[in-house]
Amino acid sequence: MAPNVAPGPSVAVLAVASVLSAAFLVKLPCFGGGWAFEPPYRVLCYSDIPPTWEHRGLSDQLLPYVEARNEYPALTGLFMWVASLGSGDVADYFRVQMLLLASLAVLTVVELARVAGRRALYFALAPSLFLYGFLNWDLLPVAATTLATVWFLRHKETRAGIALGLGAAAKIYPALLVLPFAVDRWRLGQRRTAFRLGSAAAIAWLVVNLPFALGRFEGWSYFFRFSAERPPTLATVWAVGCRWMGEGATCSNAALVNVLSLSSLVAGCLAVWARCRRNPDFPRWTLGFPLIVVLLLTSKVYSPQYGLWLVPWFALVLPDVRLFIAFEVADVTAFLVEFAAIFARQGFGTFPLWAVDLTTILRVAVLVGCLIVYMRRPGQPETASGPARAAPADPSFR
């Protein structure tokens, strides 16, 4: 089989530019009608970004955590603040945010194309990119983790660690990847390299967070308090379970849900490791894929844009077209159904919660299927037509 080589990232860049241009057009009606709740939901152009303009003090360019409350991690808050500088109104602010996020998407697909060739189109043409690219700020950690992975595969471990630390400063999940990356190098006898990668990640995270923690701890720590006190969101296994059991103490007790969620995450990760370590030759860095899957399965929060976390890993580790399509269909369907249920909760019609339960379970089933396929041949990508070869950019990519 010929190596999976693409002539360059230009096709993938064109694809991602087309998808995000279409996403911009979907959002366009909201610019004329304002950002009240009802119109954005009716035309599927809602975004979490515009409300922060007023509600997080960005209209006055207030510095997050120090001068205004913010429930997002520090680097995401800074990203919001930078976009607000020079913005005259909410429309300007949103345009700047979309431009910055689109640039991150282009960076992601360019880096994917360098190591995965035409498989970068998994990300560039993903329906979830169209729907979620401008929904929140998750393209920031997605770009950071992709860049970290590419640098890791090119044996630039310090840069990879810095990128993971910055990604974790924008969204917690990139911190999960530090361990498999470091273990991969440790297993090869490169213990100093493994330590350097982990240290670089920790230092990068501290550089972003420490000034806010020292300057105004209460404001900086609000993100952690908010996350701890937050109940399960509508389309999670925890919320589905609570609805099936009836109104009880489980979902109303945030501390208990936190313990159960964290315990499930740890147990799931250990189970994946116990299964995969039977194959002593598998590249440990590829564990990033199942770790993210386990996190998505066990987290008490599943915001729609979380699906973007996994999409680049289909190109990197599991380029199975059937599984990718199944995930996209399940994730997008769950999003649209949850969207309709939230709309109904605001007083615009009615919608049965059993439909949310059904689509949530469908997404869980697909994610479990992805785990099973990965664990059968850990780190050895397969496609529907058989084993897939990686682009020859780095001999460790396999």
SS3 content of the chain, % helix, strand, coil (to 5): 70, 0, 25
Range of the domain at 225: 10-387
> Could you tell me if residue 225 is inside a domain?
yes
* Predicted local confidence at residue 293, as pLDDT: 97
Q: Integer distance in angstroms from the first to the last C-alpha of the chain?
A: 14
pLDDT (average), residues 287-312: 96
Task: Please compute the mean of the pLDDT values over residues 249-258 and round it to a whole number.
Answer: 79
- The answer to whether residue 396 sits within a structural domain is no
- Residue 261 CB contacts under 8 Å (≥ 6 apart), including other chains: 238, 298, 299, 300
Say if 66 falls within a structural domain. yes
**Whole-number pLDDT of residue 2:** 36
Q: Which tokens is 211 given?
A: 């000034």
Range 88-95 average pLDDT: 89
State the pLDDT at residue 351. 76
Mean pLDDT on 256-277: 92
Residue 392 within a domain: no
Burial status of residue 233 (CB atoms within 10 A of its CB: 0-12, 13-18, 19 or more): middle
pLDDT of residue 152: 97
In a domain, 398, yes or no: no
Q: Predicted confidence band at 313 (pLDDT cuts at 50, 70, 90)?
A: very high
Q: What is the pLDDT of residue 130?
A: 95
The predicted-structure confidence for 138-173, as pLDDT tens digits, reads as follows: 999 999 999 999 999 999 999 999 999 999 999 999
How many domains does the chain divide into?
Answer: 1
Better pLDDT: 338 or 31? 338
**Range name among 2-6, 278-282, 302-306, 308-312 with the lowest pLDDT average:** 2-6
Determine, yes or no, domain membership for 337: yes
Residues in the chain: 398
Give the span between the Cα atoms of 98 and 240, in whole angstroms: 33
In a domain, 395, yes or no: no
Residue 2 lies in a domain: no
